[in-house]
Amino acid sequence: SQRTLVILKPDAVARGLIGEIIGRIERKAGWTITAIELRTLDRDTLQTHYAEHVGRPFYAPLLDFMSAAPSVVLVVEGERVIEGLRTLAGPTDPIAAAPGSIRGDFGTIVRENLIHASDSEESAERELKIFFPGLV
C-alpha cells in the first residue's frame, strides 16, 4: 500500500472543518491515519515544500497564508491513497471542483483551498521527509 502527506490548511482549521475533512478520510475503506499534529508551519519548511512554485505570482501570498495560523499535518496510509486523496480533495480551484469533493463543497478561493495532498509517489516521498523527518 501507499503513504501520503496531507495538510489541512489554516482556513480549514480556522473554519472548524477539520473534523468534517478527517471524517471523510477515515470513512474510506482500509485507509489509516498514522500521524497527525496541529502545527504552525514555518517559512523554511514551506519554502522547501513549495519550491516548485518559486517565482509564481501566488507564491509569496501562499507562504504568508500558510505560515500565519496553525495547520493539521497528517500521514495517511492505504490502498491507492495518493490518487485517492487527490480525488477526495478535488481540483486546485474550488469553483472548478465538483460538489462532493472537499474543495468543491467548502471552498471558493484558490489560495484558501482547505487541503494539500501529495500529487505523486515521488512527491509523497519528498514531502513526508520534510514534514515527518523521523518517519521510518
Tell me which residues touch ligand GTP (CB under 6 A): 58, 62, 92, 110-111, 113, 116-117, 119
Q: Which uninterrupted H or E stretch holds 116?
A: strand 115-117
The DSSP-derived string for 20-70 is HHHHHHHHSTT-EEEEEEEEPPPHHHHHHHTGGGTTSTTHHHHHHHHHSS-
- Is position 132 annotated in a ligand binding site? no
- Is position 65 annotated in a ligand binding site? no
- Is position 9 annotated in a ligand binding site? yes
**Distance of closest approach, residue 78 Cβ to ligand GTP, in angstroms:** 18
Strand-pair category, 115-117 with 2-8:
antiparallel
**Distance of closest approach, residue 76 Cβ to ligand GTP, in angstroms:** 13
- Contact criterion met (CB below 8 Å) for 3 and 136: no
**Distance of closest approach, residue 96 Cβ to ligand GTP, in angstroms:** 11
Which phi and psi angles does 99 have, rounded to 5°? -55, 145
**35 vs 50, which CB is nearer to ligand GTP?**
50
**3 vs 116, which CB is nearer to ligand GTP?**
116
- Is position 113 annotated in a ligand binding site? yes
Catalytic residues: 116
Would you list which residues are annotated within the binding site? Answer: 9, 58, 86, 92, 103, 113
Would you list which residues are annotated within the binding site for ATP? Answer: 9, 58, 86, 92, 103, 113
